Amino acid sequence: MTEQSNHNLFALIADRMADPKRPFMEIEGSDTITYGQVLEQSARYANALADLGVTAGDRVVAQTPKSPQAVMLYLGCLRAGAVYLPLNTGYTPAEIEYFLNDAKPKVAVCASGARPVFAELMDKLPGGVVETLDGDGSGTMAQKADAAAPEAPIAQRQDDDLAGLLYTSGTTGRAKGAMLSHRNLASNAMALAEVWRFGPDDKLIHALPIFHTHGLFVAINVTLLAGGTLLFLPAFDAEAILRLLPGATCMMGVPTFYSRLLAQPGLNKAAVAHMRLFISGSAPLSPETHKEFQDRTGQAILERYGMTETGMITSNPYDGKRIPGTVGFPLPDVSVRICDRDTGAVLEGEAVGMIEVRGPNVFGGYWQMPEKTKAEFRDDGFFKTGDLGFVDKEGYLRIVGRDKDLIISGGFNVYPAEVEAALDAIAGVKESAVIGLPHRDFGEGVTAVVAADPAAALNEAAIRDQLGHDLARYKLPKRVMFVEALPRNAMGKIEKKALRDRYATIFEDE
């Protein structure tokens, strides 16, 4: 590999580009996209964005269905030096309005059906443009790309220039934009390709969404830098994955994927004989699922640990024991330590404390939130993850809980404060508490405990229906429990532990 003068992640991808005839993406029942076509289509999207007025550093928002063209839009943004801002396809208009007002993108790309909503919101921003891109690859953005030239320069970028802006929900209800640089994304993808031993012969089953770190920056960037192939699915489909397994070598998924695959009678050792690696992340994988999967297939799932602000931090080993309930060791060039939550003192032995991380993967801070950024970093550059854990005697990192009330359901982050605010706005709700409870399929099931005015005659269905207007589907409580009053301690704080203990088994039969 030649010495890089341009630190644009796409320059690194192009420098490592495989044989242009090699397949980058195979879509079941459809055409194959080669690496040569990646160069051509990314250039077309970069040129189309430039024609819309996008220059280096401008934000481009994408809330689009998963498609090969959506991936090319991402790569076109990189190539143009723009900042890619993907949004969960489940976000409501109220949520989208916040992101657009905060990020002030030059271009927003959405599904055709959402264009009226985006157009109304983007009209309030100076020079904002709306284009469309649908799951079948059609739309005005695709049309503009098809008409654009197939060659384009790769924008000159420095290590610390932004490549992505990913929003994470805030514990106070205000989402924060994590600023991810070209160095952050490149270093993390190269480290993962190394420790997971990805190469040109790998075929990775891709059934993840492409609006968050796991499906976008991990799966796609790692495959591109390794010169491998994606077996591209529009969404998780257990039967489709079983069909693809004999021709695949790897799969990345969330715990829900593995619990649902285990429900398929066709999952056995013969089905995975060609596979070399199953990876799980975005939420804790239960030891029960880990054991059952290994018993059925002979394969030990490799669990890793990461977050939006850092990319991947640790991984269980490729060679050696993959211990259920652990997330392994720090990646190359990444430092992890356990500290006292209040004093910041480094803890030794197996003491439980705040997990802190430093390395080239760690983001530069929160968009337009300098005070919040400063509060989340130590003076020596370590980032406070908000997760609590310890390092066991064998050196494996174990996560024991979260300092904040974050719920991870089906691989998606849900912050109780946001759901509680929506609940408390419902007429008749006096107060509420939102907790995560063990759920075999989703890892944690979002659960609301509500104290309501009896005269309001509220029920579970009515509350879920009202919340559906303001919250993405994955944030909706799977159960709503009613109480006369919420338990509080002597300081008046709601005792969520008591609620978790009281309702711990409500999902056991689901």
Residue 335: in which H helix or E strand, if any? Answer: strand 335-339
User: Could you tell me the CATH number of the domain that includes residue 491?
Assistant: 3.30.300.30
Residue-wise pLDDT for 130-163, tens only, equals: 999 999 999 999 999 999 999 999 999 999 999 9
Kindly state whether residues 61 and 179 are assigned to the same domain. yes
Kindly state whether residues 330 and 431 are assigned to the same domain. no
- Indicate the number of domains in the chain: 3
pLDDT of the residue at 417: 76
Kindly state whether residues 286 and 352 are assigned to the same domain. yes
pLDDT of the residue at 1: 42
Kindly state whether residues 335 and 413 are assigned to the same domain. no
Rounded CA-CA distance 234/74 in Å is 16
The average pLDDT across 359-386 equals 96
Where in the sequence is the domain holding 146, given as residue range(s)?
9-190
Rounded CA-CA distance 387/402 in Å is 4
pLDDT of the residue at 2: 46
More confident residue, 323 or 284: 323
Kindly state whether residues 397 and 446 are assigned to the same domain. no
pTM recorded for the entire structure: 0.86
Q: Of 402, 436, 466, which residue constitutes the final position of a domain?
A: 402
The average pLDDT across 439-468 equals 93
Q: Does residue 46 lie within any of the structural domains?
A: yes
Kindly state whether residues 395 and 417 are assigned to the same domain. no
Q: Does residue 239 lie within any of the structural domains?
A: no
Residue-wise pLDDT for 94-114, tens only, equals: 999 999 999 999 999 999 999
Q: Of 141, 160, 190, which residue constitutes the final position of a domain?
A: 190
The average pLDDT across 382-393 equals 93
Strands 383-391 vs 397-402: parallel, antiparallel or unpaired? antiparallel
Q: 169 pLDDT band (50/70/90 cuts)?
A: low
Residue-wise pLDDT for 290-329, tens only, equals: 999 999 999 999 999 999 999 999 999 999 999 998 999 9
Q: Does residue 39 lie within any of the structural domains?
A: yes
Rounded CA-CA distance 258/194 in Å is 24
User: Could you tell me the CATH number of the domain that includes residue 369?
Assistant: 2.30.38.10
Rounded CA-CA distance 32/230 in Å is 10
Kindly state whether residues 393 and 493 are assigned to the same domain. no
Residue 403 pLDDT > 80, yes or no?
A: no
Residue-wise pLDDT for 407-435, tens only, equals: 889 989 887 878 988 998 899 998 899 99
- Please give the share of the chain, as a percent, with pLDDT higher than 70: 97
DSSP string, 432-501: EEEEEEEETTTEEEEEEEEEE-GGG---HHHHHHHHTTTS-GGGS-SEEEEESS--B-TTS-B-HHHHHH
Q: Of 190, 209, 230, which residue constitutes the final position of a domain?
A: 190
pLDDT of the residue at 144: 98
pLDDT of the residue at 173: 54
Kindly state whether residues 185 and 281 are assigned to the same domain. no
Q: Comparing 37-41, 183-187, 477-481, 505-509, which segment has the lowest mean pLDDT?
A: 505-509
3-class DSSP state of 285? coil
- Please give the share of the chain, as a percent, with pLDDT higher than 90: 80
Kindly state whether residues 385 and 429 are assigned to the same domain. no
List Cβ neighbours of 211 (8 Å cut-off, separation of 6 or more).
62, 63, 86, 87, 88, 89
Name the DSSP class of 114. Answer: G
Contact 278, 322 (CB under 8 A): no
User: Could you tell me the CATH number of the domain that includes residue 159?
Assistant: 3.40.50.12780
Q: Does residue 321 lie within any of the structural domains?
A: yes
Contact 497, 427 (CB under 8 A): no
Kindly state whether residues 346 and 481 are assigned to the same domain. no
Q: Does residue 296 lie within any of the structural domains?
A: yes
Q: Does residue 203 lie within any of the structural domains?
A: no
3-class DSSP state of 104? coil
Q: Which residues pair with 390 in a beta bridge?
A: 398
Residue 371 pLDDT > 60, yes or no?
A: yes
Kindly state whether residues 25 and 164 are assigned to the same domain. yes
Kindly state whether residues 350 and 497 are assigned to the same domain. no
Q: Does residue 268 lie within any of the structural domains?
A: no
Rounded CA-CA distance 312/310 in Å is 6
Q: Does residue 210 lie within any of the structural domains?
A: no
Residue-wise pLDDT for 195-208, tens only, equals: 999 999 999 999 99
